[in-house]
Amino acid sequence: MDSKEDEAATPELLSFFYSRFFPYKTYVNWLNYETESNGAFKNRELSFTLPSDAYLRYNSYNGEEDLKAEIMKMCPTKIDIGAIYTAKPKDKKTMRLSAFKPVEKELIFDIDMTDYDEIRTCCSGASICYKCWKFMTVAIKIIDVALREDFGFKHLLWVYSGRRGVHCWVCDENARKLSNERRAAIVSYLAVIKGGTQVSKKVQLNRTLHPFLRRSLEIIEKYFEDIVLKDQDVLGSEENWSKVLNCIQDDEIIKKLSNKWNGSNSKSSVQKWDELVNELEHAASASGRKYSKKAEQLQICKLEIMFQYTYPRLDEAVSKNINHLLKSPFCVHPKTGRVCVPIQPDDCENFDPFEVPTVSSLYQELNLYVEGERKVHDYEKTSLKPYIKYFDNFVKGTSKEAREKNRSQASMEF
Ligand SMILES: [Zn+2]
């Protein structure tokens, strides 16, 4: 399904992209957060992966001009954004280690489709299709609303990673200033899926769901049948349904259902799911008061499976550490040639990863453009336009917050 996989970003196309499309001005404004004489931007680490695969860390720049000159010269296949430090990262070598400390960075989230390999049946590894991309839609919906409503964050930039995942940059000032401990606490609040590949049951819920889990469940309920039962057909083959049954802590039920399902190929996953749910309910009421703990376990098991098969898988290490680097928006994925464009969270179900502009499609669009009377930017002549406009607007929001903060600080000092 990776139809544009052949549109890899050649060095020529990459250099064309960096000279004509990369939004340097907005980018510097974003990472600077209205600090005087580009203070925050100058101390920001940017890392480059070069076409030779060399990886250069601790680059830093004064502003738009030297950043653009360097990117044009190096033509990196990937740009990563790191923290804001106490001093310019490029001067790190000349400084005492104790004088060089990370002080701020956006709270970041990385959700990658490869972490869904144990629950998706359509694709694996680096490939994605419309069916499994829906997991990303659900992930954005659940995490976005939790970050806004439970933590009060407002400035969330969601970005397509260019191939098989999404990133979220939480840019509010109080998010950027979080300590590692606070970042870890937020991640542990949001992390519901626990345990590696060797753990078959990855979700443990209490009978009374925390409001955050109840809200997540409302989203999961909307998508579970469509994505997990119909698209992924997780109760279709024995290999897949046995994984689902392994989440049930009752050998009797597992035996009963597998006997039932082994004999018939005609039942759909939806029908089998109904049988599973009935079986759980029946066993729960049969175990009655005598084993109330057991009854509770069986009652909640249905929801645990639904969470295990729909709830977002977060790369926790990425979010926990202020030092952690993350691929920058508006990079170009070297294999797919796709631009890492922002995704509007309130419209994420309409985001189509296969329709994202690639460097070669942009090249064609620009060549086909018929110049009119009005002078317009190159990006406005192409399908990159809505993404750049969205980014511009987003940065207007973060800049406004920073200016208001500066003003209120100035008036307090006065
Ligand atoms: Zn797929």
Q: Give 310 Cα–ligand 1 centroid separation in angstroms.
A: 14
Tokens standing for residue 13: 């196309």
Active site residues: 45, 110, 112
User: What is the distance in A from the centroid of ligand 1 to the CA of 15?
Assistant: 32
Task: Check residue 215 and give its pLDDT.
Answer: 98
**For residue 218, with 0-12 CB atoms within 10 Å meaning exposed, 13-18 middle and 19 or more buried, which class applies?**
exposed
How many Å lie between the centroid of ligand 1 and the Cα of residue 4?
A: 15
**Strand, coil or helix: what is 334?**
coil
Kindly give the parts of the chain with pLDDT less than 70: 1-6, 288-291, 414
Q: How many angstroms is it from 358 CA to the middle of ligand 1?
A: 21
Question: Do strands 342-343 and 326-327 pair parallel, antiparallel, or not at all (unpaired)?
Answer: unpaired
- Give 88's contacts (C-beta < 8 A, 6+ positions apart): 42, 43, 60
- What pLDDT sits at residue 291? 61
Main-chain phi, psi angles of 5, to 5 degrees? -60, -30
Across 166-184, b (16+ Cβ under 10 Å) vs e yields bbbbbbbeebbebeeeebb
Say what the pLDDT of residue 285 is.
87
Distance CA 188, CA 166 (A): 19
Q: Under a CB-based contact definition with an 8 Å cutoff, are residues 290 and 250 in contact?
A: no
Gap between the Cα atoms of 161 and 170, Å rounded:
16
Query: What is the CA(239)–ligand 1 centre distance, in A?
Result: 17
* Cβ contacts of 125 within 8 Å, gap of 6 or more: 114, 117
At residue 414, the pLDDT reads 64
State how far the Cα of 388 lies from the Cα of 155, in Å rounded to an integer.
16
Q: Where are the alpha helices (DSSP H) in 225-327?
A: 238-245, 251-263, 269-287, 292-310, 316-320
Burial of 205 (0-12, 13-18, 19+ CB in 10 A): middle
Burial tier of 195 (Cβ tally within 10 Å: 0-12, 13-18, 19+): exposed
* CATH code given to domain 11-189+314-413: 3.90.920.10
pLDDT of amino acid 293 = 82
Label residue 15 left, alpha or beta by phi (over 0 means left) and psi (-120 to 50 means alpha): alpha
* Domain edges within the chain: 11-189+314-413, 198-310
What is 199-230 written as a DSSP string? Answer: -S------SS--HHHHHHHHHHHHHHIIIIII
Do residues 104 and 83 make contact, with C-beta atoms less than 8 angstroms apart?
yes
Q: How far apart are CA 349 and CA 352, in angstroms?
A: 8
Which of 167, 186, 41 shows the shortest CA–CA distance to 109? 167
CA of 162 to the centre of ligand 1 (A): 16
Residue 39's CB: how many other CB atoms inside 10 A? 13
d(CA 201, CA 244): 9
- Residue 290, pLDDT score: 57
Distance 67 CA to ligand 1 centre (A): 38
Per-residue pLDDT tens digits for 75-125: 999 999 999 999 999 999 999 989 999 999 999 999 999 999 999 999 999
pLDDT at 3: 45
